[in-house]
Amino acid sequence: MNHGKEEKPKDQAFSQAVTHMTPCYQCGTCASSCPVAKITEHFNPREVIRLSLLGERNEVISGDAIWLCCSCYNCHERCPQKVHIPHVLYMLRNIALREGHLPNIYSEFGSALWSNGRLVNVSRFVENKRPILGLPPLQPIGVEALRRILASKGLDKLQKKEEVQ
Ligand code: SF4
Ligand code: SF4
């Protein structure tokens, strides 16, 4: 109970970082404009902003919601406060990535890039189809150069996180 006093955010530094990016007053326009929120109850941009402003750092950073935004920018276009919600979500994803909270699908993409230089392995079957379709042979990939770029962004230390069922 807060006895009439304003409740302090749980993690003030985190809350201030988000507050700096958003003058959100929780009108909900973003949520009603969001195509992802329409199809899943696991994502609501207004709720992500609310929890962040309340300093609920762990819940936001270790949850899957921040990874569900598809960057369509509907919310940003319609927000009366011009909150750049996708950018807030990118910032939250960067924090989550640094702290090892990454959905498995992304760590699998990262591992595939690290190993082969491609997100998806091209099978011999698919490669053999290329000349039939008039496509040139696949070129070798500069995996070492790519690894240096990935390592410079910390993507060599990707950790898997349990998928939410
Ligand atoms: S539309 Fe803008 S002001 Fe309204 S809840 Fe979403 S972020 Fe906040
Ligand atoms: S940018 Fe993300 S949060 Fe905004 S409306 Fe699109 S999917 Fe929803």
Spacing, Cα 86 to ligand 1 middle (Å): 12
Do 53 and 94 sit in the same domain of this protein? yes
Do 23 and 75 sit in the same domain of this protein? yes
Task: With respect to residue 4, please indicate whether it lies within any of the assigned structural domains.
Answer: no
pTM: 0.76
Please give the number of the atom of ligand 1 that sits closest to the Cα of 31: 6
List pLDDT tens digits, range 100-127.
888 888 888 888 888 889 888 888 999 9
CA dist 165 and 64 (Å) reads: 11
- Structural domain tally of the chain? 2
Model pLDDT, residue 13: 74
Q: What is the CATH number of the domain that holds 46?
A: 1.10.1060.10
Spacing, Cα 106 to ligand 1 middle (Å): 28
pLDDT at 145 over 50: yes
Where is the domain boundary, 53, 70, 98?
98
**Ligand 2 probe mutation, 39, 52, 71, most atoms within 8 A of CB:** 71
The answer to whether the CB of 15 falls within 8 A of the CB of 53 is: yes
Do 16 and 94 sit in the same domain of this protein? yes
Task: With respect to residue 150, please indicate whether it lies within any of the assigned structural domains.
Answer: yes
Tell me, rounded to whole angstroms, the distance of Cα 4 from its chain centroid: 36
The answer to whether the CB of 78 falls within 8 A of the CB of 8 is: no
The residues near 131 (Cβ < 8 Å, ≥ 6 apart) are 137
Do 93 and 108 sit in the same domain of this protein? no
Choose among 59, 58, 55, 86: nearest CA to 70: 86
